[in-house]
Structure formats: C-alpha cells, structure tokens
Amino acid sequence: MSELGQGLRKFGFGLMRLPKQGKEFDLEQIKKMVDRFLEEGFTYFDTAWVYTGSENAIRQALVERYPRESFQLATKLASWAGDKSLESSKTQFAQSLERTGAGYFDFYLLHNLGGDRTKLFDSLGIWDYVADLKAQGLIKHYGFSFHAQADELDKILTAHPET
C-alpha cells in the first residue's frame, strides 16, 4: 500500500470488545469472524495496547493465519496509562509488536488525544518517537484518535501537520 488509505474499504474490524466464552476470549469464534471479514474483502483491523488481550487474540486469529501483506493492522499508544514516561511508551510499543507478532504496524495511533492527554503526548516527545518508528520501518503511518472538541482538534492538526 503506497498511498495512505489506498485499497482500504470503509469498514474496519474493531477489537475492543471480542466474544468470550466464560472469562476467556472465544478464539474459535474470533477466527470465524476474521475469516468472514476477509472473505468479504475487508482488511483493516484495529486494536490497542489497552484493549486487554486483543493484541494476543488478533495474533492468533489473523497474523498467524494469513500473509502479512493481506491485511492492515492498527494499534494504539496510550501514554496516559501506566507511569506516563517516554520509556513506558516505548515499552508499550514493544509489547504491542510482540503481542501481535505483526512485525510492523500499518497504522500507529496516539490514543485518545484531548485535554491533558494531548499535553502529555507533547511533553513526552511522543510525536518525535513515532516519527522515528516510521523511519525505522516499524510503522507505516501514524496519527491519533481523538475524543474532545473541534477547536482542540484544529490546534493538534496545526501543530502536527505531518499526521
């Protein structure tokens, strides 16, 4: 995929809430869901470090079963979770890469920007960090998810036109 969004259909598979059997994920059901999603021509999967267990589930249901070039995988960095340092953010990325087994991420999103979370990402130098990950080939594209007001969105886009 050379152009951002090229080949992406307008439907993604979100992994925040996956089916369970008791307290554990129902991996066989998730595999069926992934298979059907791909059979219908969709290829975008979205998880996050903070979606407990979903990165492991998508490794088993998708990454270990399909060629890497046949899907796009997004995950998210939640610097506001944990000890709120650049080192913990680096640990989150490494854990996400290990949990998914994907080798790289097509999309890496700074998760849930808005208010103090935006200030935290800025103060930790996260924008430079993800630019470096892209330069290393560990992510293809980076951006952010957003849960605040339009005026703040405008400020973020003005400050970070590279996203």
pLDDT in tens, 3-56: 555 666 677 888 888 989 999 999 999 999 999 999 999 999 999 988 889 999
For the whole model, what pTM was predicted? 0.85
pLDDT at residue 130, as a whole number: 92
- Those residues with Cβ within 8 angstroms of residue 109's Cβ, 6 or more apart along the chain or in another chain: 48, 74, 75, 76, 77, 142, 143, 144, 145
pLDDT at residue 139, as a whole number: 96
Domains of the chain plus CATH, in order, are 12-159 (3.20.20.100)
Partnered with residue 14 across adjacent β-strands are: 46
